[in-house]
């Protein structure tokens, strides 16, 4: 586990013991890992860092409402099939031969899930991002794929995974996931980081921001999260802000710099007003 933590640290991902344990178990048991947490705390980054750490491909499936099997799994390349049939029109091949030809792998468009299953070299990391945005039908379908890691294409047959992919699912909790899916996964919750951890993250990701400044800006961010804003800024916003400060060559957080860069971490007018009001009373 320490090893995993170190491996992630090499990818500039500051993992605490919880994340490292969850990843370790996910690999040891071959179970998918479901990561939940507020927006911008690095849920997606976990999968990226993991893929880099074990030096394998990252296959990402971004979920959205209306996502269905043809966009997630596979689809036939119809134009190519039609073209092929037209070209073959005059040939003497029988109907069966023609059919076999156009329903071969060459005419198959592999979507992320099928890609992950047919990855030959080594087990890829399959990131199923924002699963809560897809609808229940897709979740049920996913359940089937995740339990067997095999896919049946009527025209070709059953394709079984050569290497079981490491699966990471992320969710923002915008809707309840089904119990069945939850039970099939290991669970991990990422919360907003503590001051120390956030500081560590900022210093690792944006080393150019100085020691003093990083300390100050993380403090501001930590305070911001307790103000009861409508859009609480995540770590991603902290990093954006740190980068902005570096780009502006700021050395301290004065009012002017704050006013210029507040848009990096507060994206709502009412929130900005609240922030300013709170600051004055500080």
Partner 1 sequence: MEIENLVAFCRALRERGLSVTPPEVVAAATVLQVIDTSDRDEVFLSLRSVLTTSVDDFPVFGELFETFWNRSPRKLVERDSGTTVRARNVSQPKGLAFFLENWSASVRAGAEAVKVPGASDIDSRAQKVFADFSHEELEQISQLARRIVRRLASKPSRRWQPVARGHRVNLRRSLRLSLKTGGELIDLAYKRRRAKRTKLVVICDVSGSMDMYSRLLLQFVYGLQNSFAKVESFVFATSLSRITGELKNKTYRRALDRLASNVHGWSGGTRIGASLANFNVQWLRRIDKRTVIIILSDGWDTGEPEQLAQALSKLKERAGRLVWLNPLLSNSSYQPLTRGMQAALPFINVFAPAHDLASLRALEPHLVL
Judged by CB under 8 A, the residue of 144, 150, 156, 187 near partner 1 is: 187
- Confirm or reject binding of residue 175 to partner 1 (CB under 8 A): yes
Starting at the edge strand found earlier in the chain, the sheet holding 58-62 runs 58-62, 125-129, 166-171, 33-36, 186-189
Nearest to 201 by CA among 52, 8, 33: 8
Interface of this chain with partner 1, residues 124 to 153, rule: CB under 8 A? none
Judged by CB under 8 A, the residue of 11, 52, 81, 115 near partner 1 is: 81
Nearest to 11 by CA among 58, 51, 59, 57: 51
SS3 label, residue 131:
helix
- Confirm or reject binding of residue 182 to partner 1 (CB under 8 A): yes
Residues in the chain: 282
The least CB distance from residue 210 to partner 1, in Å, is 34
- Confirm or reject binding of residue 78 to partner 1 (CB under 8 A): yes
- Confirm or reject binding of residue 31 to partner 1 (CB under 8 A): yes
CA atoms within 13 A on the CB side of 176: 4
The least CB distance from residue 186 to partner 1, in Å, is 4
SS3 label, residue 45:
helix
Query: Smaller CB distance to partner 1: residue 76 or 258?
Result: 76
By DSSP bridging, strand 186-189 and strand 33-36 are parallel
Q: How far apart are CA 169 and CA 93, in angstroms?
A: 46
- Confirm or reject binding of residue 98 to partner 1 (CB under 8 A): yes
What residue ranges bind partner 1 (CB under 8 A)?
Answer: 1, 17-18, 21-22, 24-25, 28-29, 31, 33, 36, 65-66, 68, 75-76, 78, 81-82, 85, 89, 95, 98-99, 172-175, 179, 182-183, 185-189, 228, 230
């Amino acid at each position: 586990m320490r090893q995993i933590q170190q491996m992630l640290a090499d990818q500039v991902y500051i993992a605490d013991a919880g994340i490292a344990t969850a990843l370790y178990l996910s690999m040891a048991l071959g179970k998918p890992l479901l990561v939940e947490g507020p927006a911008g705390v690095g849920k997606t980054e976990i999968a990226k860092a993991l893929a880099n750490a074990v030096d394998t491909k990252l296959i990402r499936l971004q979920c959205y409402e209306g996502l269905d099997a043809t966009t997630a799994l596979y689809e036939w390349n119809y134009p190519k099939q039609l073209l092929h049939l037209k070209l073959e029109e005059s040939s003497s091949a029988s109907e069966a031969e023609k059919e076999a030809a156009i329903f071969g792998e060459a005419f198959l468009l592999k979507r992320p899930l099928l890609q992950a299953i047919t990855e030959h070299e080594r087990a890829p990391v399959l990131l199923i991002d924002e699963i809560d945005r897809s609808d229940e039908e897709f979740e049920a379908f996913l359940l089937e794929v995740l339990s067997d890691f095999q896919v049946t294409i009527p025209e070709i047959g059953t394709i079984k995974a050569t290497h079981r992919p490491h699966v990471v699912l992320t969710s923002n909790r915008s809707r309840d996931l089904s119990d069945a899916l939850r039970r099939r996964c290991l669970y991990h919750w990422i919360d907003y980081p503590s001051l120390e951890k956030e500081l560590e993250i900022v210093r690792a990701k944006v080393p150019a921001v100085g020691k003093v400044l990083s300390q100050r800006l993380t403090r501001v961010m930590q305070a911001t999260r307790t103000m009861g804003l409508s859009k609480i800024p995540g770590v991603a916003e902290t990093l954006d802000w740190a980068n902005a400060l570096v780009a502006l060559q700021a050395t301290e957080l004065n009012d002017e710099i704050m006013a210029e860069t507040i848009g990096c971490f507060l994206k709502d007018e009412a929130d900005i007003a609240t922030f300013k009001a709170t600051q004055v009373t500080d």
